[in-house]
Structure 1
Amino acid sequence: MAVIVSALLFLFWKSEFSQALIDLYNQYSFVETSRIIDYSDLVVFVFLPVPYYIINNINQLDFIKVNQINPLAILIPSFAVLIATSPPASYYYNRSDANLTCYNCSIKVNYTQAEIINKLKMQDIVIDSIKPLEKSRLSKNQEVNFYKLNQLIIERDTLKDLEFTMRTFQSGKTKIYFKGMHIADKVTDRKLEKTLREYYKKLLFNDIKSRMKK
């Protein structure tokens, strides 16, 4: 029975039907999780006869017995291993190849992505690259796209190769993640890097708020 239950739970986890549970977990957890719907992973079922054999012949296999152990000591690590097979959704929103990155630097606005893009176009700002997040990694009723601007001038600063993600919820609100940008000089001092990150994050988000009001 334990082997059958394990197989059913794994099948549920790898299917689209587990998305509601994942969304509920991510609402209250400090560490988000996600999973890729990939039914080829079900090939592991061919190994289930091994635990089935062990369970049914445990009395003859004294050398692998573990006595007097709390079941939670097995259940909790097993659950952690299961949900750790894929990185959290925030990993995909923040991933960047820029030489100045900003992890979990975000702002939320009361507009959809289409409305934001239209407002930027009206101010002569055209996105140079748009790439959607794979549907298998999307939470229900969300739209996530990756954007890139080759150049954005804010006051006296010129931001180059600006990368950001926009994540729109069912409510119509959009969370904008500033992922990173290219700076001319390589920064090796951690303190200076942090100062630059905070400076450009504040500069960009203040500019976004200003542009959304126009």
Structure 2
Amino acid sequence: MGTKDGAPAGKRGPYAKSKQRREDIVNAAYGVFAARGYRGGSLQDVADKVGMSQTSLLHYFPSKSELLLAVLERRDSVSGDGRPRDPEDSFVDAVIRQARFNETVPGVIELYTVLCAESITDNHPGRGYFTERYERLRRSYSRAFTALAGEGRLRPGVDPERAAASLVALWDGIQTQWLLAPESIDMAGCLRDYLELLVLPDHLAGAAGAVSSGPSR
């Protein structure tokens, strides 16, 4: 139902302001958690960055754990959650492209690395998120390696599940080293070297587009 002048009824102004406020809080928490971790970063730290009281912040996010989940969702939106952007990419190309993209968003990688390490501690609210994420990564990569094996492009003796777990471990480890010394580490190059040990060169026409599942980072 519209208003007298034809504009839709409702509190669009306050809603938009509230939505922007939530985004500001999440962005502030993103920086706080990346720098200090979930344990070390307090709600007061976040409130101070936004310029509001902790009581007001709790109006938008009733608990610190809820804020953390919002931050993790924000992280996924920035990284694209690793979904393939080009269906014509081969699996190897998709991994390298995602690694190159990650180099353009160091804050995202820093946040991920800090919170992932913290999540192994008791009662961390992000533990479920990272546990599920690793399971999803292993499944995705294992499917990709299995598909390559079906094309005759996976080297003999390579187990898709173990290769998938190793790729996850290598990627996380290389990212950590890159954060500490970005000028010394070629993250994408290291990943390509590993994958070229496992995957035979593309010798079949159209094989590059045969793998539909890309890296989820």
Higher relative contact order (CA 8 A, sep 6+): 2
Question: Would you tell me which structure has more helix in proportion to its own residues?
Answer: 2
Normalised by the length of structure 2, the TM-score is 0.25
Larger Rg: 1
Higher fraction of strand: 1
